[in-house]
Amino acid sequence: MGVSIGELAVRFGCELRGDPGVMVERVATLAAADERSVAFLANPRYRPELAATRAGAVVLDAEAAGVCPAAALVCRNPHATYARIAAILHPLPAGPSGIDPSAVVSAQARVDPGAHVGALSVIGAGAVVGARAFIGPQCLIGEDAVLGEDVRLVARVTVCRGVEIGARALIQPGAVIGADGFGFAQDQGRWIKVPQIGTVRVGADVEIGANTTIDRGAIEDTVIEEGVKLDNLIQIGHNVRVGAHSALAACVGVSGSTTIGRRCMIAGQVGIAGHLTISDDVVITARTGISHSITAPGVYSGHIPHEQAATWRRLVARFKRLESFATRLKALERRPGRACDQEEDDD
Amino acid sequence: MGVSIGELAVRFGCELRGDPGVMVERVATLAAADERSVAFLANPRYRPELAATRAGAVVLDAEAAGVCPAAALVCRNPHATYARIAAILHPLPAGPSGIDPSAVVSAQARVDPGAHVGALSVIGAGAVVGARAFIGPQCLIGEDAVLGEDVRLVARVTVCRGVEIGARALIQPGAVIGADGFGFAQDQGRWIKVPQIGTVRVGADVEIGANTTIDRGAIEDTVIEEGVKLDNLIQIGHNVRVGAHSALAACVGVSGSTTIGRRCMIAGQVGIAGHLTISDDVVITARTGISHSITAPGVYSGHIPHEQAATWRRLVARFKRLESFATRLKALERRPGRACDQEEDDD
Amino acid sequence: MGVSIGELAVRFGCELRGDPGVMVERVATLAAADERSVAFLANPRYRPELAATRAGAVVLDAEAAGVCPAAALVCRNPHATYARIAAILHPLPAGPSGIDPSAVVSAQARVDPGAHVGALSVIGAGAVVGARAFIGPQCLIGEDAVLGEDVRLVARVTVCRGVEIGARALIQPGAVIGADGFGFAQDQGRWIKVPQIGTVRVGADVEIGANTTIDRGAIEDTVIEEGVKLDNLIQIGHNVRVGAHSALAACVGVSGSTTIGRRCMIAGQVGIAGHLTISDDVVITARTGISHSITAPGVYSGHIPHEQAATWRRLVARFKRLESFATRLKALERRPGRACDQEEDDD
């Protein structure tokens, strides 16, 4: 079994340096690869491991190929080519077409005969499941939800009523798409629930991580555009729109009614307040809090790195005295008899 | 079908300006509403949309009613009145009374005949499910758990053994109520699990968001008082008490044994350390870390907003030199020959 | 029923001061205990409650035992001894051996006859479940996953295909072990999924909290070593290694390929960037962001405590002017005619 590297070279447009008949069966790291493995080199951090690799072939760029001890699959973007080769060698588990006898599927649901519905999944009335969709075990597809072609719900995914999931979307276990948004009106010290009557529309080729939550809209819809990648434990509030091909890392929280542009990259534990607009092509570094809109592409930060605790305590004490610092600095600047070389008003 | 706005005015105590016979079927935004829709205006941000709305009726206050082009349902609190009208026009899905044949219900459980138990839910021995409760699909009600009247578990909610849920509580998918608290004793470099033998008591009219976790008490109970609203992905540690009518936004973490007062509002990604007391009527803004108790009502903050990354890096570098700043400032103040107009001891 | 305190003293190596025949049935706090309860005193915070306790016996150290009004179980580590006694008096619920008829277990799975498989759980082909394992209701054990002896999955745990769980591991509801890591290659503005072909290996005696997510490795494995304790809503990225006996509190995020040492303690809402190394015996206080490796044991911090909002706003304004402060401070130091008692270069 396996695939010849000649076939891989043709299929993915690589220049092959080596024997096209070499057969490979799996991917591996440069360090762990054997002769039946394809490795790759994209991050210069791993360059030192190239010389000693025993891989059957290595995916790399032309510059690194010169010193590759194995057959080389040379391409401009080794990481992307590796990803495509890995998908061939390690296909996702397939399920048989049809509905597992333990699943509970409404007679009013429309499940494509080529779709797979796993054990103990529930599909509500009016739901539609597209061609070749893979519904893993213990999923819940609410009433009137619509899943496109080739959607894959790994397992135990909750798709609430009326939610739309685009073609080829991939959703990890524990994700909840379409729970009620957090909407309440205050009335005499009590919270009155505001019915959340919008839904969630998830575009094609979106990936949603484990235990991530995307709330349905209050009146209109929450929208995740095509190609968006959401990591685990992310919170997307009601009526948020995430622009196409943006990627959000784990533990990000986006408050309600905020719009994030296209091709943004938002690192872990970032928080974005509600009713903001983040423009296209914005990068936000880890743990930054965004409390006002961002109108221009660029990199934005707001995190102070750690110190040893004793050092940090002193810094915090100084920070808490910044008012005093400012006052004293101004007093020094205003001293009589000084050379008046600089004065700046700081109030 | 639908409801006449005359009926809505009577039912919710609005002054009606317009034809009481106008029939409405749904709610909508001012911008998207048609003649069969009710819209509302509460946030001044949307005031410009009022003039052009095509809504059949608008819920608003007396001041805005003067310029409303549609029938007006005039009231003091348009947001709350809107919420009540929306609940009439968009009722939550009901389930038939009785137990779905695919559910697994212990013969030792007591399920009210008027309750709905959805597909593939599990109800353990000794559990009690109150009148008109709605247990959506794939929920788990542990042994001896008690659910009050009109409780609604949307789907896939985990209520662990012995947990009590008050009347009308509404719990979103993925929430876990009553998992073990994080309690360990250290013994010679190993962690010894401390059995978590308390439970969780959730009051009436509480709402709990998707994938939120509320741990059971170590010895005594974790308590969520009536009317509390918890958003998604919140962590409530063991033996926490959240006071009545407080609202916590998404991704908040509350460590063990902390007591939060009544009517508090805690914004997203806030963290509260353990063994603290937060008084009533406290507002904590987003991303604030609370490391000591708060004894007076008020607004508390601790988040520094973002900057462009280059600017931020310079600020962090300066922050990390605050010790040096302080020393230098003091040295300047102590220079001989200066006018001794101000000195403050900063050590 | 119950246990005599004489038996407890013998079993756990305590010195008994009091009647060995006193029978106890449960544990309780010092304040709430009655004559059938064992209480304990470890935290000096609760010392004032000792004099008035009505406990049948109290677990405490020799120093406190002198003023104990009840029978005393004297030991060096009262918290650990209490934990062990509580585990005797409050054993975890047991399930009958065998597979619930509603569970869906592959004919190709190997389930030890002494294991318990709860209602509506799913066990995939090739999976192995060890002796005395407890699989609560609605769990999912993916294909080829391996669960050791005495593993306990409380309920609704997702163990993805190929994941290994060590003996006696305890996993709370909603945890997802082995979802895909967040791996994508960028190609012409699109994200290409990198197949995640590693798995997760969880060591013996690990505890994993509710709704925590641990991603499978990209090529090699994610590893949680023996004795690690993970609280709720934690994110562990792909290819992370958490060293033995480390404890991570709720809402911590660890990015991919980071290695955490042994016996570390990481408090709530900490974030750790990817590709870092944290040495053994590191303590990280709450809400700290770690953006570079830590090479020495010690305590590390990075959180600024809250203030009243008005005070905080002033501090933030001053912080944002730190560049100006630095410039002005240097200008003052360079003024002509001053006593040149100190100069420090700050650029």
pTM of the model: 0.96
Per-residue pLDDT tens digits of chain A, which is 347 residues long: 689 999 999 999 999 999 999 999 999 999 999 999 999 999 998 999 999 999 999 999 999 999 999 999 999 999 999 999 999 999 988 889 999 999 999 999 999 999 999 999 999 999 999 999 999 999 999 999 999 999 999 999 999 999 999 999 999 999 999 999 999 999 998 999 999 999 999 999 999 999 999 999 999 999 999 999 999 999 999 999 999 999 999 999 999 999 999 999 999 999 999 999 999 999 999 999 999 999 999 999 999 999 999 999 999 999 999 999 999 999 998 886 544 444 444 44
The helix/strand/coil state of B41 is coil
How far apart are the C-alpha atoms of C202 and C228, rounded to whole Å?
A: 9
Determine, for residues A28 and C219 on separate chains, whether the beta-carbon distance falls below 8 Å: yes
- A179: exposed, middle or buried (C-beta count within 10 Å: 0-12, 13-18, 19+)? buried
Determine, for residues C211 and B213 on separate chains, whether the beta-carbon distance falls below 8 Å: yes
How far apart are the C-alpha atoms of A162 and A182, rounded to whole Å?
A: 18
Instruction: Kindly list the catalytic residues of A.
Output: 238
As a whole-number percent, the residues of chain A with pLDDT over 70 amount to 96
pLDDT beyond 50 at C343: no
Instruction: Give residue for tokens 């945890």.
Output: C175
Most B CBs within 10 Å, among C77, C89, C231, to test the B interface: C231
pLDDT beyond 80 at C339: no
- B160: exposed, middle or buried (C-beta count within 10 Å: 0-12, 13-18, 19+)? buried
How far apart are the C-alpha atoms of A338 and B7, rounded to whole Å?
A: 78
pLDDT band at C115 (very low <50, low <70, confident <90, very high): very high
Average pLDDT of chain B is 95
Report the first-to-last Cα separation within chain A, whole angstroms. 75
Instruction: Supply the pLDDT for residue B342.
Output: 45
Nearest Cβ partner for C331 among A118, A305, A342: A342
Determine, for residues C325 and A329 on separate chains, whether the beta-carbon distance falls below 8 Å: yes
Angle between helices C322-333 and B322-333 (to 10 degrees): 40
Which residues of chain A lie closer than 8 angstroms to B83, CB-CB? 183-185, 192-195
Nearest Cβ partner for C322 among B124, B213, B315: B315
| Contact yes or no for C301/B288 (Cβ under 8 A) | no
Q: How far is C60 from chain B (nearest CA, A)?
A: 14
Summarize pLDDT for B268-320 with one digit per residue, the tens. Answer: 999 999 999 999 999 999 999 999 999 999 999 999 999 999 999 999 999 99
Which of A92, A252, A231 has the alpha carbon at shortest distance from A172?
Answer: A231
Instruction: Supply the pLDDT for residue B136.
Output: 98
Determine, for residues C90 and B213 on separate chains, whether the beta-carbon distance falls below 8 Å: no
Domains of chain B: 3-89 (3.40.1390.10), 98-300 (2.160.10.10), 311-347 (no CATH)
Q: What is the DSSP string of C153-202?
A: E-SS-EE-TT-EE-TT-EE-TT-EEEEPP--EEEETTEEEE------EEE
Which residues of chain B lie closer than 8 angstroms to C90, CB-CB? 195, 197
Question: Phi and psi at residue C311, in whole multiples of 5°?
Answer: -60, -45
Q: How many contacts, defined by CB atoms under 8 Å, are there between A and C?
A: 228
Instruction: Supply the pLDDT for residue A217.
Output: 98
Q: What angle do CA C18, C23, C26 make, to 5 degrees?
A: 115
| Contact yes or no for C339/B335 (Cβ under 8 A) | yes
Instruction: Supply the pLDDT for residue A340.
Output: 42
How far apart are the C-alpha atoms of A89 and C94, rounded to whole Å?
A: 43
Q: How far is A138 from chain C (nearest CA, A)?
A: 8
How far apart are the C-alpha atoms of C82 and C85, rounded to whole Å?
A: 5
How far apart are the C-alpha atoms of C183 and A100, rounded to whole Å?
A: 31
Nearest C-alpha in A relative to C232: A233
Instruction: Kindly list the catalytic residues of B.
Output: 238
Coarse DSSP helix, strand, coil percentages of chain C, rounded to the nearest 5 percent: 15, 30, 55
Instruction: Supply the pLDDT for residue B336.
Output: 65
pLDDT beyond 90 at C134: yes
Summarize pLDDT for A54-96 with one digit per residue, the tens. Answer: 999 999 999 999 999 999 999 999 999 999 999 999 998 888 9
Instruction: Supply the pLDDT for residue A334.
Output: 87
Determine, for residues C269 and B273 on separate chains, whether the beta-carbon distance falls below 8 Å: no
Summarize pLDDT for B148-171 with one digit per residue, the tens. Answer: 999 999 999 999 999 999 999 999
Chains in touch with C (3+ beta-carbon pairs under 8 Å) read: A, B
Instruction: Kindly list the catalytic residues of C.
Output: 238
Instruction: Supply the pLDDT for residue C320.
Output: 95
Summarize pLDDT for C92-104 with one digit per residue, the tens. Answer: 888 899 999 999 9
Q: How many contacts, defined by CB atoms under 8 Å, are there between B and C?
A: 228
Question: Phi and psi at residue C148, in whole multiples of 5°?
Answer: -75, -175
How far apart are the C-alpha atoms of A128 and A145, rounded to whole Å?
A: 6
Most C CBs within 10 Å, among B144, B157, B194, to test the C interface: B194
Instruction: Name the strand (E) or helix (H) holding A122.
Output: strand A122-123
Nearest C-alpha in A relative to B270: A271
Which of C248, C256, C237, C253 has the alpha carbon at shortest distance from C282?
Answer: C248
Determine, for residues B325 and C320 on separate chains, whether the beta-carbon distance falls below 8 Å: no
Summarize pLDDT for A153-182 with one digit per residue, the tens. Answer: 999 999 999 999 999 999 999 999 999 999
Determine, for residues B191 and C247 on separate chains, whether the beta-carbon distance falls below 8 Å: yes
Which residues of chain B lie closer than 8 angstroms to C26, CB-CB? 197
Nearest C-alpha in B relative to C247: B191
Q: Report which DSSP code applies to B217.
A: P
Question: Phi and psi at residue A284, in whole multiples of 5°?
Answer: -120, 125
Mean pLDDT of the region C24-30: 96
Nearest C-alpha in A relative to C291: A305
Which residues of chain C lie closer than 8 angstroms to B176, CB-CB? 156, 172-174, 210-211, 232
pLDDT beyond 60 at C341: no
> Which residues have CB under 8 Å from A127's CB, separation 6+?
A106, A109, A110, A111, A141, A142, A143, A144, A145, A146, A147
Determine, for residues B77 and A140 on separate chains, whether the beta-carbon distance falls below 8 Å: no
Summarize pLDDT for B61-80 with one digit per residue, the tens. Answer: 999 999 999 999 999 999 99
Which residues of chain A lie closer than 8 angstroms to B286, CB-CB? 255, 271, 273, 289, 291
Determine, for residues B229 and A182 on separate chains, whether the beta-carbon distance falls below 8 Å: yes
pLDDT beyond 60 at B344: no
Q: How far is C333 from chain A (nearest CA, A)?
A: 10
Instruction: Give residue for tokens 């990627």.
Output: A247
Nearest Cβ partner for B227 among A191, A271, A319: A191
Q: How far is A297 from chain B (nearest CA, A)?
A: 10
pLDDT beyond 50 at C345: no
Determine, for residues B324 and C303 on separate chains, whether the beta-carbon distance falls below 8 Å: no
Which of A189, A191, A188, A158 has the alpha carbon at shortest distance from A172?
Answer: A158
How far apart are the C-alpha atoms of C282 and B63, rounded to whole Å?
A: 60
| Contact yes or no for A204/A130 (Cβ under 8 A) | no
Nearest Cβ partner for C158 among A86, A87, A155: A155
Instruction: Supply the pLDDT for residue C337.
Output: 53
pLDDT beyond 60 at C165: yes
pLDDT band at C3 (very low <50, low <70, confident <90, very high): very high
How far apart are the C-alpha atoms of B306 and B302, rounded to whole Å?
A: 13
Q: Exposed e or buried b for every residue in B116-139, given b needs 16+ CB within 10 A?
A: bbbbbbbbbebbbbbebbbbbbbb
Summarize pLDDT for B5-23 with one digit per residue, the tens. Answer: 999 999 999 999 999 999 9
pLDDT beyond 90 at B340: no
Which of B208, B211, B274, B296 has the alpha carbon at shortest distance from B247?
Answer: B208
Q: How far is C319 from chain B (nearest CA, A)?
A: 7
Determine, for residues A92 and C298 on separate chains, whether the beta-carbon distance falls below 8 Å: no
Instruction: Give residue for tokens 């004795």.
Output: C227
Which of A322, A261, A327 has the alpha carbon at shortest distance from A295?
Answer: A261
Determine, for residues B305 and C323 on separate chains, whether the beta-carbon distance falls below 8 Å: no
pLDDT beyond 70 at B59: yes
Q: Provide the token pair at C266.
A: 């990481």
Which residues of chain B lie closer than 8 angstroms to A334, CB-CB? 341
As a whole-number percent, the residues of chain B with pLDDT over 70 amount to 96
Which residues of chain B lie closer than 8 angstroms to A194, CB-CB? 79, 82-83, 86
The interface pTM score, or ipTM, of the predicted complex is 0.95
Determine, for residues C301 and A303 on separate chains, whether the beta-carbon distance falls below 8 Å: no
Q: How far is CA C305 from the centre of its chain?
A: 24
Chains in touch with B (3+ beta-carbon pairs under 8 Å) read: A, C
Which residues of chain C lie closer than 8 angstroms to B197, CB-CB? 26-27, 86, 90
Determine, for residues C209 and B213 on separate chains, whether the beta-carbon distance falls below 8 Å: yes
Which residues of chain B lie closer than 8 angstroms to A314, CB-CB? 322-323
Which residues of chain A lie closer than 8 angstroms to B120, CB-CB? 104, 120, 122
Determine, for residues C160 and A170 on separate chains, whether the beta-carbon distance falls below 8 Å: no
C-alpha neighbours within 13 Å on the C-beta side of residue A160: 30
Which of B56, B8, B61 has the alpha carbon at shortest distance from B30?
Answer: B56
Q: How far is C276 from chain B (nearest CA, A)?
A: 20
Mean pLDDT of the region C220-242: 98
Mean pLDDT of the region C170-198: 96
How far apart are the C-alpha atoms of A139 and B156, rounded to whole Å?
A: 10
Nearest Cβ partner for B319 among A143, A219, A319: A319
Report strand pairing: C3-4 vs C23-24: antiparallel
How many other CB atoms sit within 10 Å of the CB of residue B213?
30
Instruction: Supply the pLDDT for residue B119.
Output: 98
Determine, for residues B253 and C233 on separate chains, whether the beta-carbon distance falls below 8 Å: yes
Nearest Cβ partner for A193 among B28, B83, B309: B83
Which residues of chain C lie closer than 8 angstroms to A84, CB-CB? 192
